Structure 1
Amino acid sequence: MSDLLFFPMSMPDEMLHSRITRYHYLSGNRTEAETFRDLFGSSPFGVGMLPKQINHLAARLPGDMACNLYELISSNTTFPAYRPFLGLSEGMDQEEGGCRVHEVARVPRREATVHRKARICLSCVQQDLLEVGYSYWHRSHHLPGVIACWRHGETLIHACPECYLPFYRKNKLLPNLTEECLCGWSPLSAPVGGSCSDIEMKFAIFAHKILQRNMPPVCSKVLGSSLTRQCKKLGFNHGGLVSTAKLIASIRDKYGDEVLSKMDRAFEQGKLDAWIRFRVYKGQIDMPLARHLIIAFHLFGSAEKFESSLNSEAILAGAAKPASPSKSKGKVGKGSRKDEYRQKIETLLAFKSDVGMEYLWTNAYKATRWLKENDGKWLSAKLSATKREPASAEESFDPRDQLYAETIQAAVEKMYRITKDQKRVNLGNLLKTLPTRVSLTPAVRQQKFPLLSEVIERSLESVWHFRLRRLIWGMVEAIKLNLPLNTNSMSLVSAGPIRLIFVISSLFEWDLEDFAKNGIDPEALLKSTGVSHKWEGPPGYQGPLGGHAYQRKTPIVELLGRAGVDEAS
């Protein structure tokens, strides 16, 4: 029998933290400790996405504990939006419509940090009061990546716009939306919030529908196959693989960097090297929910199409049964294998006719080896028949060569300036300055863009010259802040190896005290060193610099010897 006298009935799309807050005000409890003791039998704790003591609340409610737990999780938390992306545990049997505790345990811990803000839509606050008689907190406003209201198209706020007091406080209940802030501001009398962009609202609608559909968990292989198939269908592929670079570029074009920075913390920090990754780690694709939703919305456009794709992929995965070794051996005979491998070689030659054996060994090793051993005459005849005459000089040159060479030359002059956001002048950064992508092998680039290749080769910067430029900029920043030019100061203003200040100042005989007193002209100081942009560093320097150049000061044998002495003593 339940020992809880009452618990407020859930409002549409209400988060559990909001129901707990309403219980606090309706029960007349004076302190939050009393409310948490009534509901959870414990002292106050952070509610977050899913309270850690939710099973105690489910046990205290009338009725069956398991049914209560399922109802709380599926109706009052954002967990249903996570389910399609969490994968399945090994040996886990999917229950139709079920929601078991171990599914919740698969939510990565990093997702807890997403729920450290409480967000509201001012129009929802006012409309809820008129429609249901109470203003409450919506769970769809707290989905990762969502920054707008799906219903009103307004930007969500997480703090008082007058005094910036945050709505969410750790281990505290949410504020009553019908009461005024400490500064006198009230969400009921405030004007409606600012309107969001069209893409922000469409994404909020997509995330809301994913949450409401309460989709079942799917195998990570099914999810990955569905995403991969759609990427290739839309042209985000490189050969037979998914091109994450093309996918990221398309997402940035659609959303815009400013919006993506608000939706995803890693994007805001510029961590794009592995921003999209389809690899499976511990049975699930290792990406946060916000990024899953961004990619799914970009590829499918609607929750209905996304769910339909998962269902179709699950059917295909279930229907695919591996053939037995005996049957496959009987079906794939010598004749069929010859036809299969010949077709593969002919396909390669159709795309690139002027190829040789080296290209075939690299791109079709298995087919090339079998044909070389069993059908060598056909392979030789095919290669000799597809040889073309070498292209003339006019055909090999790209007409954009002169323009691209001038573009690179202008970019080089800017990139070598000593500024705050300076980057190393390497091949990748130089090619990014071109209006279109030139992703060619060095040999082909040399043939089609000879002027461009010459400018690039002439302009490339060594690692040590880049370190020198960064060090000089760090010295400029330290002098502006009236800091002494030493390793402690350089660690605050520069990301480069801090011991370089002594190594390089000693080499060029710099007077650091005079620099700190009178200041420096960074461009003039760099020019005074007399080194070129291909400088190989201080002669004979072998000291540790950190990163990939880290060197252990004490030999590992000596460290192990010390450990043995310590244990013996």
Structure 2
Amino acid sequence: MFATASARKDDFLPYFPAGFPDETIGSRVSRYHILRGQPTMHATYKQLFDRVPFSLGGMVQRHLENLASRLPGSSAQNLIALQNDSTLQPLYLRFCGDGPHPGNAERDRTGGQVVLPRRMSGDSRLTHMCPQCLAEDENEHGWAYLHRSHQIPGVTTCWKHETKLLDRCPSCNCPFAHPSQLILSAWLGCACGVSIAVHEHSSPELSSIREKEFARFTRQLLIAGPVQLTTSQLITMYKQRAAECGYAWGGGRVNRKALFEKIEEFFGPVLLAKMDPAYGKGKTSGWFHVLSPSACTETPLNRHLIVSYFLFRDAEVFLTHAVAAAARLPTDDAAAGAGVTLETVDGSTEENRRSAELLDELLRIAQRSDYDTEQLWRYQFSSMTRLVKLLPDACHVLDMQIRRAAAKKKRDAAGALKILERLTQHDAKWAAAISSIAHNVYSEDSRPVKVTMKRLIKAAGVPGVSWPTQSKYPLANLAVNAKAESTWHFYARRLLWTLQSLHPDTPVHLVIIHASLEVYKARAVLALFPDVARGAGPSIKVIMAILSSRSISTNWEGPCPEQEFYKAGRAYRLRTSRRGPIGGRAGAPHLSPERS
């Protein structure tokens, strides 16, 4: 490559390593850092990007234009090469870009830069490695390096060796990627002294068939030729393929509930939670934004890939459909998405508007009152007369829409029943998990911490099942309410632990201070245990035995339920008139009887 006339020779880097097949830009920068003698991180970023350190572990790294301008040759061509060969931009733009526009086709072909959003949805910032690939690359190329295909969102296994990818040290559990730091553990090992490449000699964790096929599918899409689609073309391709697979409702719509249930069944909740962290947290409301024109480009890339793999299964099939969709004219997309109402309405724009309004009004009346066309003629005669003048086949359209609405109502009822069955199963799982984990939580041989509902729920986490509202999980909420301890029971456990920990002659006020409890309630509880042996060493087993022998359960209401104690914190009220009126807040004006 030749330098441009405007570039100065002093601006060019003396050396920058060429990329290996499927190598990330972060890997190339890390190798540059090592080959240059490992200067400071700031010095390396200053030389390459003229910026302070930033993350190089995302899907499409920013500030690459600074590096491209410091390489010999055309800056634009260098930037195109960096983005296409060392980042996930080709895969990202296949789903999340808006495609080339006819007026900007020449500019897109030669300009290289693509306007990217400020925040890329689904960019986990994790760095994945395959120890076997590291060892093979070092033998074959002389250098280990990081692969782009391992960093694709949703990919959990190596497509080549069919083993699980690592995103943290197998010894100390330290993540490979750190904010604004280079990833050097592939070459220098982890800070704990473990070499990542050596881990390939241990027995690797094998992956499932779904994980292997998904990894191969995404890699083939990454290395395939560029076929960039507009949003409407991509959505049309999804809908057509969903219709071919039996998930169509008619009118260009997709049965999203049935499609999501099949995807969930196909991958399984555990694997789907790994591929889509939002699903693991129960956030599924925006799952099918891939079919929404306004939100398709903002949908995380991993969800695009999951839906595409489920619908097409083979990358060649996907690319064939993509080429056909890219060749289709925009007017074809609009015609494919048009509904029955627009196709049947003829005449001028004003007539179309009036007939559409009448049709919508009559459909609302029919759905609200459960009418058919015969009843509409009986109770809405004038409106029906005006409509058939504008739209001769209005009765046929109304019949079809009413049947479609009835079918939708039936499907919604069936779907609600399935959701109820699923919630019932999840409710039983949570209730059983909470009941089984409660004993372990109370048996933790450490300084007692109050066993709250939140703590029990966190300890009894069920994989792939989130914790919803109380009304959806009645059995689980009954279980967690029954197993959570009262404040008085917690006071008893904490005070007994403190008594066993301190010297037998420790005064009462020091016992309460070390227990970090409210004074008056703690004194009332301590009065129940004058005969408990002190200073023998804390043991939660002994504490629970003492409580059991005195019939003190987890829902204990205290030694004197009828007694009222002064409240602490924001509920505190004054007990003397030294700083204000008794029962009021501190500093409040004390009014005399005459003024009050």
Task: Please report the TM-score for the alignment, with normalisation by the length of structure 1.
Answer: 0.60
Which residue is 2:486 aligned to? 479
Match runs of 1:496-535 below 5 Å = 518-519=552-553
Is 1:30 equivalent to 2:42 in the alignment?
no
Match runs of 1:230-269 below 5 Å = 230-240=241-251, 241-269=253-281
8 Å contact from structure 1 (residues 15, 76) kept in 2: yes
Letter in 1 for 2:79: L
Letter in 1 for 2:167: H
Deviation at residue 86 of structure 1 after TM alignment: 2.0
Letter in 2 for 1:274: G
Is 1:77 equivalent to 2:57 in the alignment?
no
Letter in 2 for 1:53: H
Match runs of 1:310-349 below 5 Å = 310-318=322-330, 320=332
Letter in 2 for 1:221: S
* 2:68 aligned counterpart, secondary structure: helix
8 Å contact from structure 1 (residues 146, 203) kept in 2: yes
CA deviation vs aligned residue, 1:41-68 (integer Å, no higher than 9, x gap): 2222222323332111110000010001
Which residue is 1:66 aligned to? 76
Deviation at residue 254 of structure 1 after TM alignment: 1.6
8 Å contact from structure 1 (residues 371, 379) kept in 2: no
Superposed structure 1 runs of 4+ greater than 4 Å apart: 89-92, 99-102, 328-331, 358-361, 367-380, 414-422, 462-472, 480-484, 517-522
Query: Which of these residues, 174, 194, 203, is aligned with residue 185 of structure 1?
Result: 194
Percent identical: 27
* 2:149 aligned counterpart, secondary structure: helix
8 Å contact from structure 2 (residues 176, 183) kept in 1: yes
8 Å contact from structure 1 (residues 118, 168) kept in 2: yes
Which residue is 2:237 aligned to? 226
Higher radius of gyration, 1 or 2: 2
Q: 1:371 to 1:95 in 2, by over 3 A?
A: same
Query: Which of these residues, 210, 214, 225, is aligned with residue 199 of structure 1?
Result: 210
Which residue is 2:311 aligned to? 299
Deviation at residue 121 of structure 1 after TM alignment: 0.7
Where in structure 1 are there 5+ consecutive unaligned residues? 332-353, 384-403, 423-461, 485-512, 523-569
Deviation at residue 171 of structure 1 after TM alignment: 1.6
Q: 1:14 to 1:359 in 2, by over 3 A?
A: farther
CA distance in 2, matches of 1:222, 1:216: 11
Deviation at residue 471 of structure 1 after TM alignment: 8.3
* 1:177 aligned counterpart, secondary structure: helix
Which residue is 2:458 aligned to? none
Deviation at residue 465 of structure 1 after TM alignment: 11
Where in structure 2 are there 5+ consecutive unaligned residues? 1-8, 336-341, 349-369, 400-416, 436-468, 492-524, 526-550, 557-596
Query: Which of these residues, 264, 277, 284, is aligned with residue 272 of structure 1?
Result: 284
Task: Please report the TM-score for the alignment, with normalisation by the length of structure 2.
Answer: 0.58
8 Å contact from structure 1 (residues 153, 195) kept in 2: yes
CA distance in 1, matches of 2:81, 2:472: 63
8 Å contact from structure 1 (residues 85, 223) kept in 2: yes
Which residue is 2:98 aligned to? 88
Give the CA RMSD over aligned residues.
5.1
Letter in 1 for 2:249: H
CA deviation vs aligned residue, 1:263-313 (integer Å, no higher than 9, x gap): 101111112233222454657444200000010111111222212212222
Which residue is 1:547 aligned to? none
Which residue is 1:288 aligned to? 300
8 Å contact from structure 2 (residues 185, 196) kept in 1: no
Q: 1:33 to 1:358 in 2, by over 3 A?
A: farther
Is 1:212 equivalent to 2:228 in the alignment?
no
Which residue is 1:357 aligned to? 373
Letter in 1 for 2:317: K
CA distance in 2, matches of 1:253, 1:417: 21
Corresponding residue pairs, total = 411
Query: Which of these residues, 41, 48, 51, is aligned with residue 42 of structure 1?
Result: 51
Deviation at residue 96 of structure 1 after TM alignment: 8.7
CA deviation vs aligned residue, 1:318-348 (integer Å, no higher than 9, x gap): 463999x9xx9689xxxxxxxxxxxxxxxxx
8 Å contact from structure 2 (residues 57, 177) kept in 1: no
8 Å contact from structure 1 (residues 279, 286) kept in 2: no
Which residue is 1:164 aligned to? 173
Deviation at residue 478 of structure 1 after TM alignment: 4.8
8 Å contact from structure 1 (residues 87, 284) kept in 2: no
Match runs of 1:357-376 below 5 Å = 357=373
Q: 1:167 to 1:360 in 2, by over 3 A?
A: farther
- Which range is displaced more, 226-235 or 272-281? 272-281
Q: 1:96 to 1:482 in 2, by over 3 A?
A: farther
8 Å contact from structure 1 (residues 81, 214) kept in 2: no
* 2:486 aligned counterpart, secondary structure: helix
